[in-house]
Amino acid sequence: MHLAIDSTETLFQRHSANPILTNKDWPYRINSVFNAGATLLDDGCTLLLCRVEDRRGLSHLCVARSVNGIDGWAIDPEPTLMPDPEKYPEELWGIEDPRITYVPELGKYAIAFTSFAKGGPGVSLALTKDFRSFERLGVIMSPDDKDAALLPYRIGGLWALIHRPMTPLGCHMWISYSPDLRHWGGHKVMMEARKGAWWDANKIGLCSPPIETSEGWLTLYHGVKNTASGSLYRIGLALFDLKSPDICLLRGDSWIFGPETEYERGGDVHDVVFPCGQTICPDRDTINIYYGAGDSCIALAQASLRSLLSWLQENGRPEGLDNNR
């Protein structure tokens, strides 16, 4: 049995400036800011597409830009992308949790986000070149579904989307394929939630978009443990085959990051760490992981790509073997 508790504690380093963005930083009145998509722009600046919850409880998206990805954030003076329920009824109760993928073939960023309305939460897709104007493609995965990200290029001629439909039997990670980003099929389970007492029992979901490495798609995912005092959101690691991303090559047994600090254990929803985006530093090894903490603020943790991969080689196991799940 692999517990590897000591090595996991040093995999993610919280930044001393945490939390790096809170409602007090916002140029207009909001309740909270959390769960941000992230990308590096051509000029090297970091862009966060933040989920902002207003004081009605509805979410929209707002851009924050920074030269070093840590501080000095320039925040759009008004919401960058507001729900538009007249044209897109699926956005009636807001838009949430964006994941950004740069798609070289299109020369555009693809944003997969949760659109929330009376039918439940579903997955919507939008494209943008500049994070100022957006082309909405509407709902691409019907409710209940969330935690989606597009892979950056076609696989076998088809676009690939990771997402997390919900069923009463469990919430597992799926992958689906499309010739045109609008029509989706070839649905396959990528990775299942475990059962029983596990930290990732019953409900898992993709965090930030998978990172392409020579060993496979390195993937952070969240697991949700239900306890008598509520849900605990923690982060685990898995590696998927580059050419067949529905094949899980390795999955760690322990979580590698969980709520510990005051801003993670408190907040509007306690005990939540929820990354939706990351950037990779010029050394091509350091990852900046941006995560929502307690559904109230945005924090930054740094990790080494090489250390995450070697932790998985030591502590991960292929899926499908008898592993007591």
Binding site for ligand BMA (CB under 6 A): 35, 96-97, 233, 269, 272, 274, 292, 295
Closest approach, Cβ 204 to ligand BMA, in A, equals: 11
Burial of 79 (0-12, 13-18, 19+ CB in 10 A): middle
Give CA–CA dist 302/197, Å, rounded: 29
The contacts of residue 211 (CB under 8 Å, 6+ apart) are 217, 218, 219, 278, 280, 287, 305
Structure tokens at 306: 């090489």
Nearest residue to the partner ligand BMA, using Cβ: 269
- Tell me whether residue 34 or residue 109 sits nearer to ligand BMA (CB atom): 34
Structure tokens at 44: 């090297």
- Tell me whether residue 157 or residue 168 sits nearer to ligand BMA (CB atom): 168
Give CA–CA dist 151/194, Å, rounded: 24
Closest approach, Cβ 255 to ligand BMA, in A, equals: 15
- Tell me whether residue 91 or residue 97 sits nearer to ligand BMA (CB atom): 97
Closest approach, Cβ 143 to ligand BMA, in A, equals: 13
- Tell me whether residue 270 or residue 325 sits nearer to ligand BMA (CB atom): 270
Residue 245: which of 180, 154, 184 has the closest Cα?
154
Closest approach, Cβ 315 to ligand BMA, in A, equals: 26
Closest approach, Cβ 146 to ligand BMA, in A, equals: 7
- Tell me whether residue 54 or residue 215 sits nearer to ligand BMA (CB atom): 54
- Tell me whether residue 95 or residue 126 sits nearer to ligand BMA (CB atom): 95
Closest approach, Cβ 35 to ligand BMA, in A, equals: 5
Task: Work out whether strand 230-240 and strand 216-227 pair parallel, antiparallel, or are unpaired.
Answer: antiparallel
- Tell me whether residue 216 or residue 292 sits nearer to ligand BMA (CB atom): 292
Q: Phi first, then psi: what are they for 24, rounded to 5°?
A: -70, -25
Residue 36: which of 289, 301, 294 has the closest Cα?
289
Closest approach, Cβ 231 to ligand BMA, in A, equals: 7
Q: Report the 3 state secondary structure along 144-194.
A: CEEEEEECCCCECCEEEEEEEEEECCEECEEEEEECCCCCCEEEEEEECCE
DSSP character at residue 42: T
